[in-house]
């Protein structure tokens, strides 16, 4: 039973509307070091907004595959990842910022089956969600920077993270059928390439994070709560003081039958950014873990590596840019 996980992991729940006191800040710091995952509430994104995205996305995922493939890997847009690429159960649609409405419209236009009302609603709702989750990413990044040291947020937020950009992946996981296994990987083990990722998962569950010792822990869905995780770019920028953990999605046949829905927002450094941990983030006594690298070179490395393809791990930022003496995983 390789998919079995330990008891659900208790991750700190951060109220993003409140100023963090020192104990909240220290539990956030501990979670980012140890797991690279935590949860947030009071994020200002209503259940109603998720419900609308869910229903509009469902109309897209219910289309015949010939239609969806108009946005697939061999199309000019490449916003749709069909089933059987990441896994037999996973398909997704990408909507990119900062003009989320235009990106969503490009996709619906390319489908060419004009349902104007639905298409406009989809663009509007993606713009609203994208704008909110982008603001949220900025707030969260500042909080994470605060855990690295006094005043590091004001020192580095503007200078290092000002050009960050984001994109969304709307994920649809179909359930393994009775002729198939009881449980299956919906999305294989991977690390995210972002600075931070913000995930909404529906009530079905299945998201798991891997401990340093290799144990899989479940992150149970909680109403009103979003999951945040640190990605590879921030792990490298923080010289490993923040952890980009391996995670995956496991689908259980008995866990409700229908498909699982999630929305992942990836907040990333700009492509041409050179990632290099500042001296005061590395600290006087610690060794530098990574050589400087250009973001887009890392993205290309991941895309072009068979094992790293479509976020299936194997290769992470350590394989790409760790200095030789530190290249031990």
Ligand X SMILES: O=C(O)CCC(=O)C(=O)O
Tell me which residues touch ligand X (CB under 6 A). 169, 171, 187, 192, 199, 201, 207, 247, 249, 262, 264, 311
What's phi and psi for 137, nearest 5 deg?
Answer: -60, -40
Cβ proximity to ligand X: between 119 and 260 the closer is: 260
CB of 94 or CB of 282, closer to ligand X = 94
Indicate the residue among 79 and 262 with the shorter CB distance to ligand X: 262
Strand order in the sheet with 13-15: 13-15, 37-41, 226-230, 196-201, 260-268, 165-173, 90-96, 80-81
Q: Look at residue 39 and give the partner it binds from Fe ion, ligand X, none, a contact being a CB closer than 5 to 8 Å depending on partner kind.
A: none
Min dist. Cβ of residue 134 to Fe ion (A): 18
- C-beta nearest to ligand X: residue: 262
Nearer to ligand X, 152 or 187 (CB): 187
Q: How far is the CB of 314 from ligand X (least distance, A)?
A: 15
User: Are 220 and 284 spatial neighbours (Cβ–Cβ below 8 Å)?
Assistant: no
Strand 37-41 relative to strand 13-15: parallel, antiparallel, unpaired?
A: parallel
Closest distance between ligand X and the C-beta of residue 153, in Å?
Answer: 25
Decide whether 185 or 192 has the Cβ nearer to Fe ion: 192
What residues contact residue 329 under an 8 Å CB cut-off, 6+ apart?
318
State the nearest-atom distance from the C-beta of 134 to ligand X, in Å: 17
CB of 249 to ligand X, least distance (A): 5
CA–CA separation, 186 and 197 (whole Å): 18
Q: Are 149 and 214 in contact (CB under 8 A)?
A: no
Q: Specify the residue, 127 or 229, whose C-beta has the smaller distance to Fe ion.
A: 229
**Least distance to ligand X from the beta carbon of 260, Å?**
7
Overall size of the chain counted in residues: 329
- Contact of residue 143 among Fe ion, ligand X, none (CB under 5-8 Å per partner type): none
What is the torsion angle, in degrees rounded to the nearest 10, for the CA atoms of residue 234, residue 236, residue 240 and residue 246? 70
Closest CB to Fe ion among 217 and 282?
217
Nearest-angstrom CA–CA distance, 235 and 303: 19
User: Would you say 295 and 273 are in contact if contact means Cβ atoms under 8 Å apart?
Assistant: yes
Residues 6+ apart with CB under 8 A from 292: 274, 275, 276, 321
User: Which of 104/249 has CB closer to ligand X?
Assistant: 249
What residues make contact with Fe ion under the rule CB under 5 A?
Answer: 192
d(CA 230, CA 191): 9
Q: Which residues of 180-205 are buried (b: 16+ CB within 10 A; e: fewer)?
A: eeebbbbbbbbbbbbbbbbbbbbebb
In sequence order, the 6+-apart residues with CB closer than 8 A to the CB of 115 are none
Which residue is nearest to Fe ion, using beta carbons? 192
């Amino acid at each position: 039973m390789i998919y079995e996980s330990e008891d659900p992991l208790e991750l700190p729940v951060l109220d993003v509307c409140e100023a963090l006191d020192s104990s909240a800040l220290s539990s956030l710091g501990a979670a980012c070091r140890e797991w690279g995952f935590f949860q947030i509430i009071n994020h200002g994104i209503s259940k109603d907004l998720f419900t609308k995205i869910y229903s509009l996305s469902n109309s897209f995922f219910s289309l015949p595959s010939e239609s969806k493939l108009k946005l697939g890997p061999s199309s000019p847009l490449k916003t749709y990842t069909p089933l059987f690429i990441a896994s037999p159960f996973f398909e997704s649609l990408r909507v990119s910022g900062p003009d989320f409405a235009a990106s969503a419209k490009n996709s619906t236009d390319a489908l060419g089956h004009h349902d104007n009302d639905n298409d406009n609603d989809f663009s509007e709702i993606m713009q609203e969600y994208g704008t909110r989750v982008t603001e949220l990413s900025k707030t969260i990044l500042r909080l994470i920077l605060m855990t690295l040291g006094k005043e590091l947020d004001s020192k580095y937020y503007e200078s290092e993270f000002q050009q960050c950009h984001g994109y969304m992946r709307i994920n649809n996981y179909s359930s393994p059928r009775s002729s198939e296994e009881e449980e299956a990987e919906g999305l294989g083990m991977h690390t995210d390439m972002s600075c931070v990722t913000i995930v909404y998962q529906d009530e079905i569950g299945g998201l798991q994070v891997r401990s340093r010792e290799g144990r899989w822990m479940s992150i149970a869905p909680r109403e009103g709560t979003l999951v945040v995780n640190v990605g590879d770019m921030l792990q490298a920028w923080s010289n490993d003081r923040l952890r980009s953990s391996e995670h995956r999605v496991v689908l259980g046949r008995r866990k409700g039958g229908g498909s699982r829905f999630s929305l992942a927002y990836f907040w990333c450094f700009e492509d041409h950014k050179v990632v290099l941990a500042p001296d005061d983030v590395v600290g006087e006594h610690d060794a530098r873990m990574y050589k400087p690298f250009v973001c887009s070179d890392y993205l290309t490395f991941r895309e072009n590596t068979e094992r790293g393809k479509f976020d299936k791990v194997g290769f992470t930022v350590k394989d790409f840019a760790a200095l030789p003496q530190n290249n031990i995983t």
